[in-house]
Structures are given as structure tokens and as C-alpha cells.
Structure 1
Amino acid sequence: MRVLYVVEQGAVLRRAGELLLVERDRETLARVPLLRLQLVLLFGNVHVTTPTLATLLERGIELVLLTADGEYRGRLVGPESGSAELRVRQLEAARDEEFALELARRFVRGKLRNQGVLLLRELDEHPDLRSALDALRDALLRASRAGGLGGLLASEGYGSGAYFTALAQLLPASLGFSGRQRRPPPDPVNALLSLGYTLLTQRAVSALRAVGLDPSVGFLHQFRP
């Protein structure tokens, strides 16, 4: 997915032929081809001309608005793609408890495996990570045996707790990171993790919309008001 991030405060986004121009004080900061562009993220005080908005809508390029600190505000999207039948089938799949559990299990196991891979790369220099790796293996086993979403979420939480505790061992103590904390993040590492998750979420939402799926219909996290 080709993504444009605009962080320059006071910048203006405008179209010039088949290019998007990022300008500030009559200076062109960037020229980005519209071809294959799928997502534009604007941080803080960034302006977009009306013709540019029309072009983004016509070409199915989503525009996401965030604060200067990276908090999500909203998004501008064109007409829905895909068919209603596809979204109905997605909803039916989410209501199928056995199918939803198996798909959610794959999500959780994939996450836990990837966390383990990162720690394994550091094991030679940090032998004390072995206990966290053992905990992640235990979490993987628990996820495989979970008989419902509650047990699956518990195994994910157990494994992620061990992972973030181990991650703290790999970072300088001066950063003040002791584990994952949010709302608000109390240190630079947690702030960057929150920003990274926000950006990743927006890319995932755009990818789902691009194929006609509803990003609000999930499998691991079920429906709630």
C-alpha cells in the first residue's frame, strides 16, 4: 500500500496534474504521483484544497485526519467498494462461533510467534530473555487449547505482558519504559507504540475497505456498543 504522511505544520496539499504537491510558504516540499496512492494521513494543521479533495474521493484514495500528536480524528472516504453480499457473508462468518474462534486463534498465535521471533534475535546478547520466551511458548499452547474467545484473549494478554516486560530489558533505562501503558502513555516508548498502532490501524482499515469488507466487524473482538 502506498501511503503519504504529511506532518509539516501549515502545509497545503494540492493537485497538479497527476501529482499531489505538498507546499508551504510557496515552497514545494514534496511531489507525490497519484498513481497507486491509496492513503493520505494528515497530522495537525495541514490544509487540503477543494479540488484535491474531489480528486481523492474520485480515485478512492482515503484521507485520514490526526492531531499533530498522532491521535485519530476521522477519515474521508468515497463510495463504498465491493458488494453488499460480501459484507453479509462477512457478518455471517463473524456470527459463526466455531469459525470466528479458529480465525481469532490464528491472529493471536501469529502475534505471539512474531513477538517470540523478535526476542529470539536478542537472546545471545540477553540470555535473561529466556523466561519471557518460555512464557510466550506457554501462551501459544494456551491459545491452541482455548475453548472460547475469553480464554484466547487471556492467553494473548499473558503473552503480551511477558513480551513487553522483556522489551523493557532491551531498552535504555533512561527512557523510563517498564511495560505497555496507554491513556496517556507515560514515556517516549509508549507514546511511539501508540502512534505506531494508530498508523497501522489506519492502513488496515483502508486495506479492508479497498476489498469491500467492513472494518467494524471483527472476529477476536466481538460486537459491543
Structure 2
Amino acid sequence: MICYGRISLTTPFLHQAAERGIEVVLLTETGGLGARLASPTTSDPQIRRAQYTVADNPARSLLVAAGFVTGKLLNMREAVLRAADAEDAEALDDARSIDSLADRVSAVDDAHELLGLEGRAARRSLYVTICCSKWPGSGVPAGGPRRCVRGFP
């Protein structure tokens, strides 16, 4: 299980996850590793060997990466929809654009193109998830609400 941003997990949940061999990874709001919680029995050398085998095969590696990127894009879209006002036409357009980018993932031929789709989606989601006044600690910067992110190339 991967948890992204400001989240809370209960102690009983963490105990259940450990008992069932479910790893819990906590990522910061910027995607950096915060913590990794794993029971002592979750390390399986055969799984690690299989991961290296996939990583050594560019076609299989791209397929796995495409699955991760699709999930990330759909999560970005949901974050935009949750943070935006229903009347915010630009945010709704951002959500539709991210959805369209997610639809294009399956047609990607290489990892660089895949990363490009992910980057474009991240750019579309940044305004709402950083500057939207509904989120704690956020706010409209000087120069207008969309200038904070839209000014990036």
C-alpha cells in the first residue's frame, strides 16, 4: 500500500497490515520516501529476482511502468476533482485533460514519452492541488491564482 501526502493511519490498521504481510510506504507531498513499514517476513528473494528480470526487459518494464503511470494520472484527476469547486471550469478542464493523457498511456512506445505524459498531467494538476484555497496551507500567490504553475514552460 502506498500512501501519498498528508495522511493518517491508525495503529490497529498498521498491526493488521504487518500481520498480513502488507507493506505500507509513506510518501511525502512531493513524492519522496517518508517511510517504509514492512513485517520481517515480507522480503522474498524470488520476488526480487522477478523484479530484476522485468527491469532487464525493456518491453515488460515499459508495460509495468505504464500501469503505474496510469494509476498516478487517475489519482491526479481525482485530486483535482476533489480540490476544485464545481464551478471552476478551468479545474474541470484540467481533470478532463489528465483523463485524456491517461487514455494515451497504452499507445506509448518508450519510457521518455511515458514520462512526458506524466509530467504534462502533473503540470495540469499542480494549480488545483497546490493553490486551491480549500487545502490547508494553500493560497493564491501574488500575480493571480494560475500564475503560480502556469508560468512554467
- In the other structure, the counterpart of 1:50 is none
RMSD: 4.0
Q: Shift of residue 154 of structure 1?
A: 0.6
Q: Give the SS at the match of 1:36.
A: helix
For the residues of structure 1 that align with 2:40 and 2:106, how far apart are their CA atoms?
A: 40
What per-residue deviation string (whole Å, max 9, x for no partner) do you get for residues 140-160 of structure 1?
Answer: 133222111111001000100
Which of 87, 90, 93 pairs up with 1:125? Answer: 87
- In the other structure, the counterpart of 1:190 is none
Deviating runs (4+, > 6 A) in structure 1? 71-75, 77-80
**Unpaired runs of 5+ in structure 2?**
2-10, 19-31, 134-138
| Matching residue's letter, 1:82 | S
1:96 pairs with 2:57: yes
Question: How many residues are paired up?
Answer: 119
1:173 pairs with 2:135: no
Instruction: Name the structure where strand makes up a greater proportion of residues.
Output: 1
Q: RCO (CA 8 Å, sep 6+): is it higher in 1 or 2?
A: 1
TM-score w.r.t. length of structure 2: 0.57
Which of 10, 15, 24 pairs up with 1:36? Answer: 15
Alpha-carbon spacing, 1:144–1:175, altered in 2? closer, same or farther (3 Å): farther
Alpha-carbon spacing, 1:162–1:73, altered in 2? closer, same or farther (3 Å): closer
What per-residue deviation string (whole Å, max 9, x for no partner) do you get for residues 26-77 of structure 1?
Answer: xxxxxx89x93889xxxxxxxxxxxxxxxxxxxxxxxxxxxxxxx98999x9
- In the other structure, the counterpart of 1:141 is 103
Larger radius of gyration: 1
1:152 pairs with 2:152: no
Q: Give the SS at the match of 1:173.
A: coil
What percentage of residue pairs aligned between the two structures are identical?
Answer: 22
Q: Give the SS at the match of 2:75.
A: helix
